[in-house]
Amino acid sequence: MTKPELKQLLQEYKSGKLTEQQIIEKISTLRFESLGYATVDHHRRLRQGFPEVILCEGKTPQQVSEIAVRIYNHKQPLLGTRASNEHFKAVKRKIKNAHYHQFARIITANEPKAPEKKRGTILVISAGTSDIPVAEEAAITAQMMSNPVEKLYDVGVAGIHRLLSQSDKLTKANVIIVVAGMEGALPSVVGGLVDVPVIAVPTSIGYGASFGGVAALLGMLNSCASGVTVVNIDNGFGAGFAASLMNKSVLGS
């Protein structure tokens, strides 16, 4: 339930369309639902603006599908990250209009029909083609949170002219997510070109001395460009969620 929906509910109670018992029953279902192995937080959308997201990794297909059904049945946007084909097949058997975004390893349903009109654009940039799966996780997360999203892929520092030729996209964005592995230099370049928040996402792409993304992470944390914020290695979801909150805050929506 969103804040406008809760306001509507209270207005219906005030006008006499709902009894005290009916409104108690409706509000009580907003809290949580225990499945034994999971406690589904139905109140999260009201608190944070978006429902609970399922981290599918480490869960069985049956567990993911049962959690997904509870969220879906509350008519809330469904987002499951780090999902395998097996997870999706289990969800699809119960939710016929569920979709699987294989590159991003994301399951979605009850997607927003269109971005919110007041929202600015979130631009997702990948340094290399190998970074695209993490970039796609960020992009789909932001789209599920009703943001308009643009993408700019494979424009890393090895050929910086590729990025500079797209300067119009940089200047039009409200928030920019930059996904990079190897030495993780691209967020510093972007941060030095724009006056909007830049969220840096290190990826685990790289040879031995990259230490599974640690080199990129440390490079981004030590960026000399102002306004660069860093999330965890391969955390496209975290970047997409944070970008949405920033986008909402900038516009006061």
Task: Pick the range with the lowest mean pLDDT from 21-30, 68-77, 163-172, 208-217.
Answer: 21-30
Q: How confident is the model at residue 52 (pLDDT cuts 50, 70, 90)?
A: confident
**What is the pLDDT at residue 44?**
75
158 pLDDT above the threshold of 80: yes
DSSP 213: G
Q: Measured between alpha carbons, how far is 177 from 228 in angstroms, rounded to an integer?
A: 10
Q: Does domain 122-251 have CATH number 3.40.50.1970?
A: yes
Q: How confident is the model at residue 173 (pLDDT cuts 50, 70, 90)?
A: very high
**What is the pLDDT at residue 86?**
97
pLDDT digits (tens, 9 = 90+) for 37-46: 887 777 777 7
pLDDT digits (tens, 9 = 90+) for 2-26: 566 667 777 877 788 778 777 766 6
Distances (CA, A) of 201 to 118, 148, 162: 26, 20, 20
Of 234, 241, 216, 243, give the one whose Cα is nearest residue 57.
Answer: 234
Beta strands in the chain (DSSP E): 32-34, 39-41, 54-55, 78-81, 99-101, 106-109, 122-126, 149-152, 175-180, 198-202, 228-230
**What is the pLDDT at residue 43?**
73
**Full DSSP string of 57-68:** TTS-HHHHHHHH
Q: Measured between alpha carbons, how far is 216 from 209 in angstroms, rounded to an integer?
A: 10
pLDDT above 70 as % of the chain: 91
pLDDT digits (tens, 9 = 90+) for 94-126: 999 999 999 999 999 989 988 888 889 999 999
Task: With beta carbons less than 8 A apart as the criterion, state whether 80 and 87 touch.
Answer: yes
Break the chain into its structural domains and give their ranges.
Answer: 30-109, 122-251
Average pLDDT over residues 74-78: 88
Question: Which residue type sits at 167?
Answer: S
Of 31, 83, 38, give the one whose Cα is nearest residue 237.
Answer: 83
pLDDT digits (tens, 9 = 90+) for 180-195: 999 999 999 999 999 9
Of 175, 166, 163, 181, give the one whose Cα is nearest residue 227.
Answer: 175
Average pLDDT over residues 57-74: 92
* Beta-strand pair 54-55/175-180: unpaired
Distances (CA, A) of 67 to 19, 29, 48, 60, 80: 30, 15, 19, 11, 10
140 pLDDT above the threshold of 60: yes
Average confidence score pLDDT of the chain: 89
Average pLDDT over residues 86-90: 97
**What is the pLDDT at residue 143?**
95
pLDDT digits (tens, 9 = 90+) for 222-237: 998 988 999 999 999 9
Neighbouring CB atoms inside 10 A of 183's CB total: 18
**What is the pLDDT at residue 27?**
64
Average pLDDT over residues 154-166: 90
Q: Measured between alpha carbons, how far is 108 from 144 in angstroms, rounded to an integer?
A: 8
Q: In sequence order, which residues have a C-beta less than 8 Å from that of residue 222 and are 6 or more positions away? A: none
**What is the pLDDT at residue 114?**
86
Going edge to edge, which strands form the sheet with 99-101? Answer: 54-55, 78-81, 106-109, 99-101
253 pLDDT above the threshold of 60: no
| Partners of 100 in the β-ladder | 107
**Full DSSP string of 23-46:** HHHHHHTTSEEE-SS-EEETTHHH
47 pLDDT above the threshold of 80: no
